[in-house]
Chain A
Amino acid sequence: MKQVEETLRQEVAKLLEDGTIDVFVGHEAASLPLKTSPCFVRSPKEVDRLVWNRICTSNLATYLPQLFKRPVGLKGEWTPPKVGVVAKGCDSRSIVGLIKEKQIPRDRLFIIGIGCEGMIDRHSVGRALGVVGLADAKVDDKSVQVIGTDGREKRIDIADVLAASCRECQHREAVLSNLTIGETPSSAPEVSHYANVAEFESKSPQERWEHWVGELSRCIRCYACRQACPNCYCEECFAEETAPKWLGVTTDLSDVFVFHLGRAFHQAGRCVDCGACVAACPQGIDLRLLNQKINKDVEELFEAQVSLSLEEAEALSSFRMEDDQSFMTEP
């Protein structure tokens, strides 16, 4: 990991020096334990800010569209910057999606792909330690040494606290890149695809409803899940739209449901299961169980894969004459 981090810094320094890129989007150390922040590096002198480790959880594709927006109020000529970015498998798929949705230009992007062994889930670390608050944490390649706010200490194997998305991840290497560094990831997915969804589907309707009532009653509607998601680039989100007003500013559970059904549905055929929304949620809500349901349906009904290549059409912007209509009352 240290080796990869060093190579990353050197490559970025070169790219900035020779003018291939104007800005590089990467991860840097953050003030909270087990967190990194996205960072924007603009000069070769700053490359030491960049880190690469097992807590580079955020999906950096989220921060790209804003770089290509013409600054508000600017008069005269404006050329969009040339942007470099480091991408895990999932980030690269989100980038592919954003290019296809015309939010970012391929020709102004320089993607450095890094094979990914999976990222740590902070909520699982807290659970393993038995406390919610973490005072400090040190991460190496294989394990994490944590201290809770109550002074409790523990060394935890990373394999035991991997994010759920990472356990099932099928695409650990960038699907689109200008350069790849590091080694091919060794680990294969441990959990079968959509095991969680299949298990949930087997419950009774009443159990399913009660599960979501329990889960979503904890939602504080902070919209961090939306902010963290690369697909949520809408200038005006339906959650805040006032004409029409889709959801009230209330604590009524039905409004929370409308938000979650709407948010999840807007990811249909677009979600790459990066887990950024789950990691961002302060309430530890299992949004993945909702996202993955739609992903499973998209895969099964339309035989479509999400954002694996620039050529393939997205599931909801295409159709086949013989698409399934067994769900219809009177086809």
Chain B
Amino acid sequence: MTKKTNEKMGGNGWEPRIVAFLCNWCSYAGADLAGVSRIQYPPNVRVIRVPCSGRINPLFIVKALQTGADGVLVSGCHPGDCHYISGNLYARRKFALLKSLLEYVGIEPQRVHFSWVSAAEGPRFAEILGKVTDSVRSVGPASKMIKKFEEVA
């Protein structure tokens, strides 16, 4: 759904769309646990499973913002718990720089989130999603980076 379709839905119908990149070994399993434990969390999230937070090319995040996501969440294993030992620690440096760069060019910081969630933290995963959804909702539908497909087709 592009920004336009969002607008077509009118102010009231608008629900933020959040892309969540979750690492296979911890955060995805954490989300799974939240699910099987029947913990409610906002349905605004579209999960993309990646092998490791270190697999996340910062361009994935930029691209999600360009193609219609109102917000992005990236989550991996806690430092020290990475299945690949240190993927999350290399990733952390990239994420710190990207978050700062996006804010620098004027993208709302409320749209881009990072967290560590372990496979045992189902309730915490649900809690974080609530927080992230509220944060994205507070800045409204994304407009800055969105590609206007219609105009160039």
Contacts and interface: CB of A to CB of B under 8 A. Distances in A.
A282 interface: no
Which applies to chain B's interface (DSSP): helix, strand, loop or mixed?
helix
Closest 3 CB pairs of A and B: A209-B106, A330-B115, A208-B106
B152 interface: yes
Which applies to chain A's interface (DSSP): helix, strand, loop or mixed?
helix
A206 B90 CA distance: 31
Interface stretch (B6-14, B31-39, B40-48, B57-65): B57-65
A252 B152 contact: yes
Interface stretch (A48-56, A130-138, A161-169, A292-300): A292-300
B105 interface: yes
Contact of A319 (B58, B62, B90, B101): B90
A208 B102 CA distance: 11
Given A206-B106, A209-B144, A261-B101, A329 B113 contact: yes
A: contact size bracket: 35 or more
Most chain A CB atoms below 10 A, which of B103, B128, B147: B147
A223 interface: no
B: contact size bracket: 35 or more
Interface of B: 58-59, 62-63, 66, 73, 79-80, 86, 89-90, 92-108, 113-117, 124, 128, 131-132, 135, 144-148, 151-152
A194 interface: no
Contacts of B96: 297, 301, 323-325, 327
A243 interface: no
A258 interface: yes
A329 B131 contact: yes
29 contacts: A208-B104, A209-B144, A211-B106, A212-B106, A238-B59, A246-B63, A248-B152, A250-B152, A252-B152, A257-B62, A258-B59, A258-B66, A264-B101, A265-B58, A265-B97, A268-B94, A294-B97, A297-B97, A317-B90, A321-B79, A323-B92, A323-B93, A327-B96, A327-B99, A327-B114, A328-B115, A328-B116, A329-B131, A330-B113
